[in-house]
Amino acid sequence: VFARLLDQTPNHPDFDKVFGQPDRPSAGIVFGEKGSGKTALRLLMQRKIDEHNAANTDRLAWVVRYDDLNPALERLAQHRAARRADPEKMLSDFNLADHMDVILSLAVTPLVDAALGESKVLANGDLRKLLRKMPKAKRIDLGLLAALYDQPISDDRQTRWSKLARKLKLGWVSSAVVLRWAAILWGMIAIACGLIHSLRGDVDDLETVLFVSASVGSALVALGCAVRLGSLYGLVNRVRRALRVVDPTKSDLSHSLGTLTITEARARPLPLPNDHDTRYQLMQRLLGVLKELGYVSLIVLVDRIDEPAAVNGETDRMKKLVWPMFNNKFLQQDGVAVKMMLPLDLRHALYREGPDFFQQARLDKQHMIDRLIWSGPLLYDLCGQRLAACSRPGETAAALTDLFDDDVSAQDLIDALDQMHQPRDAFKCLYAVMQEHCASVPADRPVWRIARLTLDQVRKLQSQRVQELYRGLTPA
């Protein structure tokens, strides 16, 4: 039913303000009560972006669904060496750099899936041809992003990286592995020359030269290998300390970063602990790669902030998780649109903040919807659309007034629904009306239209329930 509703034109007047234009991204913040349709707006945005991508193959938008923070919070707890860490302290430690790492991971992983032919998310052209035409600098950028942020569900990361490196023509064998085998080979030559020298008493000049050169070569290669590996492992340790919510293993990072030369890796921004600037640079590198594939924007849809186990719907915990994202530089990145669907509890907490917070957030520039409000006429139209979506295909849908007696007008229904304030409670009210009508009519004397008295009785009870909900006297 909901999928059919999404196919219809959105009727909430604030939708266009929040949605904007996919190829000219802008931030959007929506505050709404439980059941006010925030998730529906997010799904509708995703549907509209898909339609935009289908119609504009030269100006595509890459979508990131940021609606499940449980994995990131779990990795942060493990990184803090406290699987059962205090949720309050852990959430206080979750900063903007961590948010950006999660977003980069959610954006890069499906991109790597597409590059390896494991998904069809790309909407523009032959990917192999696009990768082949991509400049080397962009291919290195994609390789570095994959090394840092690729988080496959089941595939072995090292095998996956080797496949990607071959496609990007970055080489598929780690330089550390090459140096290690070179050292082993030189060592074997030195040992062979030493054995020949010990078994044969007489030694000619050629054997002496071979023995000395092999010994010196082995020592030099081993020294170079040690220096190279030491530099690589130092780089890996610094990166791992920074990537707390992605948390790649040392062996995976060593394998992937080792394929890139130290010069190539260090010439590009690498994440540092609590450093935002490198994340902004990595985000722009990602946008550069996406533009090579026809994508001009990155749209991040943030939802279900109150659902992680460590948050558990508590307002103070949601604040600690969301407040770092209220940063004007983060929300106004070129080519990036962050759309946040937030509980109304955070709106009340927001207006208790001081001037410094608002100066940093610059909410006047973020297309903010102070409260997602549904008027009686809007809810009446929405209920009519839902009734039509529930009809059998090919049948003429009944109007909402067709369910009631002739003395119940459309305005009566609008007035009743206006007291419900939001879609979930409007649907509950109509469902309760139908239940009450069916319970009061005997089966052998059916009445197929609902009386005004039934509507008035149920409306009064449902209105009281909604008011008690707002006052915190009843659960949602």
User: Integer distance in angstroms from the first to the last C-alpha of the chain?
Assistant: 23
Closest CA to 27 of 280, 301, 287, 347: 301
pLDDT the model gives residue 15: 87
CA pair distance 3, 423, nearest whole angstrom: 16
> What distance in Å separates the CA atoms of residue 163 and residue 171, rounded to the nearest whole number?
10
Q: What per-residue confidence (pLDDT) applies to 265?
A: 60
Distances (CA, A) of 46 to 125, 178, 241, 301, 468: 21, 46, 34, 8, 34
Higher-pLDDT residue of 393 and 374 is 374
- At 217, the pLDDT band (50, 70, 90 cuts) reads low
Helix, strand, or coil (residue 276)? helix
Q: What is the pLDDT of residue 83?
A: 47
The whole-number pLDDT of residue 431 equals: 95
pLDDT for residue 251: 76
- The arithmetic mean of pLDDT across residues 362-391, rounded, is 89
Confidence label for 239 from pLDDT (cuts 50, 70 and 90): confident
Query: Which residue spans within 266-363 are E strands per DSSP?
Result: 295-302, 336-343
Q: Which amino acid is at 468?
A: E
pLDDT for 209 beyond 90: no
Q: What is the pLDDT of residues 185-200, one digit of tens each?
A: 666 666 666 666 666 5
pLDDT tens-digit profile of 68-93? 999 888 888 887 664 456 788 888 88
106 confidence band (pLDDT: 50, 70, 90): very high
Share above pLDDT 70 across residues of the chain, in percent, rounded to a whole number = 80
Distance between CA atoms of 340 and 456, rounded to whole angstroms?
A: 37
Q: Could you read off the pLDDT of 20-70 as tens digits, one per residue?
A: 899 898 999 999 888 888 888 898 899 899 989 989 888 899 999 999 999
What's the pLDDT score for residue 295? Answer: 92
Using the CB atoms, write b or e for 72-90: b if 16+ within 10 Å: bbbbbbebeeeeebebeeb
Lowest mean per-residue pLDDT among 4-8, 33-37, 377-381: 4-8
Q: Decide which of 29 and 224 is more confident.
A: 29
* Confidence category of residue 126, pLDDT binned at 50, 70, 90: low
Is pLDDT of 138 > 80? yes
Q: What is the pLDDT of residues 258-284, one digit of tens each?
A: 777 655 666 678 888 888 999 999 999
Task: Collapse the DSSP code of 406 into the 3-class scheme (helix H, G, I; strand E, B; otherwise coil) and give the result.
Answer: coil
pLDDT of residue 60: 92
Least confident of 14-23, 55-64, 231-240: 231-240
Q: What is the pLDDT of residue 149?
A: 92
Q: How many CB atoms lie within 10 A of CB 260?
A: 22
**Using the 8-state DSSP alphabet, how is residue 340 labeled?**
E
- Considering only 3-12, 27-36, 325-334, which range has the smallest mean pLDDT? 3-12
Euclidean distance between CA atoms 418 and 465, whole angstroms = 14
- The pLDDT assigned to 220 comes to 62
Q: What is the pLDDT of residues 435-446, one digit of tens each?
A: 999 999 998 999
**pTM of the predicted model as reported, rounded to 2 decimal places:** 0.82
User: What would the mean pLDDT of 204-222 be, rounded to a whole number?
Assistant: 61
The stretch 249-261 carries a mean pLDDT of 74
Could you tell me if 42 and 303 are in contact, meaning their C-beta atoms sit under 8 angstroms apart?
Answer: yes
Q: What is the CA radius of gyration of the chain?
A: 31
Task: Work out the percent of the chain whose per-residue pLDDT is above 90.
Answer: 34
